[in-house]
Amino acid sequence: MTTTNTALIDVRDVTKSFATDGGEKTVLSGVTLTIHQGEIVALLGRSGSGKSTLLRCIAGLIAPTSGTVSFKGGELNGANPGTALVFQSFALLPWLTVLENVELGLEAKGVRPEVRRERALRAIDQIGLDGFESAYPKELSGGMRQRVGFARALVVEPDVLLMDEPFSALDVLTSENLRGELVRMWSDGTLPTRTALIVTHNIEEAIQLADRVVVLDSNPGRIKAELTVDLPQPRDRRSPAFEALVDEVYGILTGQQAEPRAAVAGIAGAPVDVSIAAAAATANEIDFPLPAASTGSLGGLVELLAERGGTEGLAEIADELRYELDDLLPVVDAAQLLKLARPQGTELRITEQGRRYAAADLLRAKEQFATLAMEAAPLVRRIVRDLRHTTSGAIRADEILAELKAHFGDDDAQQQLDTAIDWGRYGELFEYDADTGRLLLPTHPDAEQEERAS
Ligand SMILES: Nc1ncnc2c1ncn2[C@@H]1O[C@H](COP(=O)(O)OP(=O)(O)OP(=O)(O)O)[C@@H](O)[C@H]1O
């Protein structure tokens, strides 16, 4: 891949806010990014960090709240004429054949029918769909459908190919295969488009494909770090240089968590684990986000660390548990929040508390968890306190949910409640009756120990 200094896309100080029930939500803040001709850039970040929002701003599908996006020096004022999109969900029209789906992009650009057909057939051929021209999407496997998605985007010969998690709906082997082919086609010049931006939450995918990896911070999304990937294609995932880059990105992503949370509590700059715990202690109980980790996965992580002598690399943990980034980081955050483990550079290290937790029998582990959750999980603490203040010993979960929705989106609010219920139930701090939608104080008499923590 030959990268030139010609800027194709120029994102300048872009901020994007959305109106939500709880007021304005700033998703992107002060993002500045240039994509040069011939380079492949990967945009990596946690779930909700604003990757897709930035991609949609670049595609011109949504306008920034402030700042500008330019294509070849011209400020966008609507759809970006130099880009085409590949979506995670394929977004094919089920009533059209493969050929007709691929022709669609050209039709929108007013290309004559006979030219359309010829170009669509060429794109279908290039992407390995020969023989499937007359098939309907439902006849195709996921991998073949995504090939149609690629052909439809590439047929318009965009200057920049924009991809939003294009492989994440595919199984591991299929995505590996398609990614590999894409790299080959890029390297040997088969593809008409040589510049791309790919949104992904898969670190290895980013390092396998990209010349440059841009890491987005969360809440709000800002550029946290940029790494140049100076390895020849095709890249060997097992090479020490590749693994070192994976480790580096894990370090960046786990190191970032404390900053926004500490800022919420007004104690920015405090050391990582101290600041998260302190933020949790002082934050408004409703708006402090609990990491979406189940008690089962948390226990599994702490046990794995204990088995490995107390320390293990984050990339190795993800490999061992077959976790994607979005699965692993919330569990690491939860372990950190509950002071069971602490990230150190590219590794995760168990704490003394974590060792005790891993060694405890179920009853003691639950007791310990209850104490830790009362100390460190504001939403759990809030539910327990509300329950103790009602005479009936029960509160409606949907009332808590309504409050959460004022601070988080609908999906995130539900996830917050689900996590708090899982944690509260596991620690036997409260019960939840799904039939009546009520949270209840535990029925057994020995639920006193959490008093100590409150
Ligand atoms: N139209 C919208 N209205 C309100 N909030 C929105 C809108 N679009 C996105 N958001 C919010 O912006 C935040 C960032 O979303 P975005 O999809 O850009 O993140 P992402 O990094 O791509 O996440 P993921 O990896 O989970 O897809 C989320 O909290 C999302 O709920």
Cα–ligand 1 centroid distance for 409 (angstroms): 9
Binding site membership of 405 for ligand 1 (Cβ less than 6 Å): no
CATH code for the part of the protein at 264-358 = 1.10.10.10
pLDDT (tens digit per residue) in 339-369: 999 988 889 999 999 999 999 998 899 999 9
Binding site membership of 219 for ligand 1 (Cβ less than 6 Å): no
Binding site membership of 202 for ligand 1 (Cβ less than 6 Å): no
Q: Among residues 5, 13, 8, which one has the least CA distance to residue 35? A: 8
pLDDT (tens digit per residue) in 308-325: 999 999 988 988 888 888
pLDDT (tens digit per residue) in 134-187: 999 999 999 999 999 999 999 999 999 999 999 988 888 888 888 988 888 888
Cα–ligand 1 centroid distance for 57 (angstroms): 12
Determine the average pLDDT of the residues in 378-400: 90
Residues with Cβ < 8 Å from 124, sequence gap 6 or more?
Answer: 98, 99, 102, 130, 132, 133, 151
Q: Which atom of ligand 1 is nearest to the CA of 201?
A: 25
Give yes or no for residue 282 having a pLDDT over 70.
Answer: no
Alpha carbons within 13 angstroms on the beta-carbon side of residue 401 total: 15
pLDDT (tens digit per residue) in 45-59: 988 899 999 999 999
Cα–ligand 1 centroid distance for 148 (angstroms): 26
pLDDT (tens digit per residue) in 9-53: 999 999 999 987 767 889 999 999 999 999 999 999 988 899 999
Binding site membership of 34 for ligand 1 (Cβ less than 6 Å): no
Binding site membership of 53 for ligand 1 (Cβ less than 6 Å): yes
Highest mean pLDDT among 297-306, 408-417, 437-446: 297-306
Q: Which atom of ligand 1 is nearest to the CA of 56?
A: 18
Give yes or no for residue 97 having a pLDDT over 90.
Answer: yes
Binding site membership of 47 for ligand 1 (Cβ less than 6 Å): yes
Determine the average pLDDT of the residues in 242-254: 89
Q: Among residues 106, 123, 125, 124, which one has the least CA distance to residue 115? A: 106
Cα–ligand 1 centroid distance for 328 (angstroms): 19
Determine the average pLDDT of the residues in 236-255: 89
- Residues of 158-167 as b/e, b for ≥16 C-beta within 10 angstroms? bbbbbbbbbb
Binding site membership of 145 for ligand 1 (Cβ less than 6 Å): no
The reported pLDDT for the residue numbered 206 is 94
Binding site membership of 88 for ligand 1 (Cβ less than 6 Å): no
Binding site membership of 17 for ligand 1 (Cβ less than 6 Å): no
CATH code for the part of the protein at 7-255 = 3.40.50.300
**Residue with CA closest to ligand 1 atom 30:** 48
**Residue with CA closest to ligand 1 atom 6:** 18
ipTM exceeds 0.95, yes or no: yes
Residue 249 has a CB neighbour count (10 Å cut-off) of 23
Binding site membership of 29 for ligand 1 (Cβ less than 6 Å): no
Binding site membership of 27 for ligand 1 (Cβ less than 6 Å): yes
The reported pLDDT for the residue numbered 128 is 87
Element holding 20 (H helix, E strand):
strand 7-20
Cα–ligand 1 centroid distance for 51 (angstroms): 8
Q: For helices 314-321 and 295-307, what crossing angle results, to 10°?
A: 120
The reported pLDDT for the residue numbered 65 is 97
Cα–ligand 1 centroid distance for 50 (angstroms): 6
Using CA atoms, how far apart are residues 426 and 441, in angstroms rounded to an integer? 13
pTM for the complete prediction? 0.76
User: Amino acid letter at 56?
Assistant: R
Average per-residue pLDDT in the chain? 87
Q: Which of 14, 17, 27 has most ligand 1 atoms within 8 Å of CB, for mutation?
A: 27
**Residue with CA closest to ligand 1 atom 3:** 18
**Residue with CA closest to ligand 1 atom 23:** 48
Per-residue confidence band for 274, with pLDDT thresholds at 50, 70 and 90: very low
Per-residue confidence band for 278, with pLDDT thresholds at 50, 70 and 90: low
Using CA atoms, how far apart are residues 114 and 420, in angstroms rounded to an integer? 59
pLDDT (tens digit per residue) in 178-221: 898 888 888 888 888 889 999 998 899 999 999 999 999 988 89
Q: Which of 52, 164, 198 has most ligand 1 atoms within 8 Å of CB, for mutation?
A: 52
pLDDT (tens digit per residue) in 422-452: 999 999 999 999 999 999 998 754 444 444 4
Cα–ligand 1 centroid distance for 287 (angstroms): 17
